[in-house]
Amino acid sequence: MKIRSSVGSDISAGLVVFLVALPLCLGIASASGVPPIFGLVAGAIGGIVTGAISRSPISVSGPAAGLVAIILTALAQLNNNFAALQLAIVLAGAIQIILGFLRLGSLANFIPNSVIKGMLAGIGVVIILKQIPHALGWDKDYEGDFEFLSRFGSTFVDIGKAVASANPGAILIFVVGSAIILFWDSKRMKALAFTKFVPGALIAVVAGVLLNELFKTLTITPSLALSAEDNHLVKIPTYQELVQSFSLPDWSAINNKTVWVTAFTIAIVASIETLLSIDAADKLDTQRRVTPPNRELVAQGIGNTLCGVLGGLPVTSVVVRTSANAYAGATSKVSTISHGFLLVIAATLGAAFLNKIPLAVLASVLILVGYKLAKPSDIKKVYESGLDQFVPFIVTLLGVVFTDLLKGVIVGFFLGIFFIIRANHHRSFTLVSDDNNYLLRFNKDITFTSKANLTTLLDSIPDNSNLVVSGVKSDFIDSDILDILHDFVESSKYRGITTQLQQIDGKTWSKKMEPRS
């Protein structure tokens, strides 16, 4: 019933995701060194098949920039044998299905929230930085390339080149597109019912196409018009070109070691990116629904198996498209499925109009999505929550911006674990004293991570005093902690310390150790 009531707004959101996904699918295919059909097939299957099987209401799957380097390396090792690469993708999908049935998707639950928030903000910053050149009409780099290091040096080098050769036509189209989207998202417009079914991004894209067509009719020197020859426009191959590019997997390459290495690499990296993305998607979901991670791995595996058979790049759940989906108002998987069908239509029937879309107007859509992911007010909230949250957040953000998503998250993860251990050190124990009597209380379950703090506290107990160690509040005490306690009991005899253990090791007994005479 809920899906039916929101189907109109979900299809509207699906249209926005389609406008974002279309150039990304084509750009990632080009960056990966494969025909454009590989990107379109992956986007369609990620939307329709994976979207239907997944239980995530707003996550969107498709070809991911994080797998580009893996694909390029594999193709070089396979002598550009696309069919052998397809077999590797089929095997990668099968491996993901096995990982899902083994319930390994639950590992994503161990990633700190500060790291996920940092990843989202980092992706937002990357989107903005990568779209600035397109907004200025410098379209030399691939759409969908989110690596800091580019073919021309780095992201900042790209922006510098774009500023130096700014195209007035692109800037005008970008500004108009951005103004339309912002106006459409204003409170006054949102109060009108029809805006739920007609996305501002679509109005902006149509306006961008019309404005560029108007530029073509004007006798201005130099012309403001953006042309396909200079890569300023979306470029969908013709239906005939797509058919000619179609191929099936090379099943005879099953014994090729490189195929298997590629398959496992794709499976592991795609699974990690997917688990990170669905965790982010759940935080972007206004209803805060939780996606079953193991079911998601199975859905991704089925999608990748089909991608390999039909000639598509491997897919993952992707933060950029998912974010666009969330901010477009999606509430169910109708959105991601409809965007998949729109990609099919675009590949077969829609090239005539879609190839007139300027990348500059799509930059207006993506930059606003990036801003919503990395709003200064959200960063301020994380800062105000304390250093143990902000440091992993900002390190993850910077890591994503200056390296890539996975490396940034890995660095942020380990830093987050460090702060968790540090916080546990300060909260695990309470030591109070009354004259020469000391009470060391365990405040919660104690693991090996508290060894250093416990040793320091025990060393601070003065000679010839009385110590009571209470484990009343602990249901679990790690064996390493018990060893430290028992060693202290033995050594404390020589310091004249009387030690009493209460409810330690899960037992409701106390032990009093008198010092030796």
pLDDT higher at 309 or 240: 309
- The pLDDT tens digits of the residues spanning 41-62 come to 999 999 999 999 999 999 999 9
**Distances from the Cα of 44 to the Cα of 51, 145, 340, 483, angstroms:** 10, 20, 4, 58
- For residue 66, the model assigns a pLDDT of 87
- In the chain, what are the domains? 2-379 (no CATH), 428-513 (3.30.750.24)
Q: In which band, very low, low, confident or very high, does the pLDDT at 252 lie, cut at 50, 70 and 90? A: very high
The 10s digit of each residue's pLDDT in 72-116 is: 999 999 999 999 999 999 999 999 999 999 999 888 777 888 899
Of 152, 195, 215, nearest to 361 by C-alpha is 215
Residue 502's pLDDT is 84
> Mean pLDDT lowest for which of 228-232, 257-261, 290-294, 448-452?
448-452
The pLDDT tens digits of the residues spanning 406-435 come to 888 998 888 877 776 666 656 778 889 888
The overall average pLDDT reported for the chain is 88
> Is residue 513 pLDDT above 50, yes or no?
no
* Interatomic CA distance for residues 49 and 51, integer angstroms: 5
243 is written with which tokens?
Answer: 């058919």
Instruction: Please choose, from the candidates 450, 464, 434, the residue with its C-alpha nearest in 3D space to the C-alpha of residue 442.
Output: 450
Whether the predicted pLDDT of 222 surpasses 70: no
Report how far residue 231's alpha carbon sits from residue 348's, in angstroms, rounded to the nearest whole number.
21
Angle at 430 between CA 428 and CA 431, to 5 degrees: 140
Proportion of the chain above pLDDT 90, given as a percent:
57
Q: Give the model confidence (pLDDT) of 347-363 as tens digits.
A: 887 677 888 999 999 99
Question: CB-hemisphere CA count at 13 Å for 438?
Answer: 20
Residues 321-349 have a mean pLDDT of 92
Q: For residue 62, give the 3-state DSSP assignment.
A: strand
HSE-CB at 448 with a 13 A cutoff on CA atoms is 3
Tally of CB atoms within 10 A around 193: 8
Let me know: does 10 contact 20? Beta carbons within 8 Å. no
| Angstrom distance (rounded) from CA 61 to CA 67 | 13
Q: What is the pLDDT of residue 423?
A: 62
Q: Which two structure tokens, joined as six digits, stand for 18?
A: 């389609």
**pLDDT attached to residue 146:** 84
Per-residue tokens: 250: 């090379």
For 116-136, how does the pLDDT look when each residue is reduced to its tens digit (9 = 90+)?
999 999 999 999 999 999 999
Is the pLDDT reported for residue 4 higher than 60? no
Asked if the model's pLDDT at residue 506 lies above 70, the reply is: no
**Is residue 178 predicted with pLDDT exceeding 90?**
yes
Report d(CA 365, CA 16) in Å as an integer. Answer: 9
Q: pLDDT tens across 66-78, in order?
A: 899 899 999 999 9
CA 137/CA 132 separation, integer angstroms: 9
Please, what's the b/e burial string for 382-393 (b: 16 or more CB within 10 A of its CB; e: otherwise)?
Answer: beeeeebbbbbb
DSSP conformation class of 448 = G
Mean pLDDT of 214-238: 83
Q: Other CB atoms closer than 10 Å to residue 458's CB: what's the count?
A: 22
The type of residue at 261 is: V
Alpha helices in 66-199 (DSSP H): 68-77, 82-101, 113-135, 155-164, 168-184, 187-190
Return the H-helix or E-strand segment holding 466. Answer: strand 466-470
Q: Please report the pLDDT score of residue 500 as a whole number.
A: 86
Residue 517 has pLDDT above 50, yes or no: no
pLDDT, residue 505, reads 63
Q: Tokens 């454009």 correspond to what residue?
A: 36
Tell me which of 4-13, 134-143, 149-158, 295-304 is least confident. 4-13
pLDDT at 291 over 50: yes
How many Å apart are CA 281 and CA 304, to the nearest integer? 20
CA-to-CA distance for 177 and 171, rounded, in angstroms?
10
Report how far residue 365's alpha carbon sits from residue 207's, in angstroms, rounded to the nearest whole number: 13
N-to-C CA span, the chain: 80
Residue with tokens 């005899």: 493
Query: Which one is predicted more confidently, 224 or 180?
Result: 180
E strands present in 223-358: 315-317
Q: Nearest-CA neighbor of 147 among 70, 68, 36?
A: 68
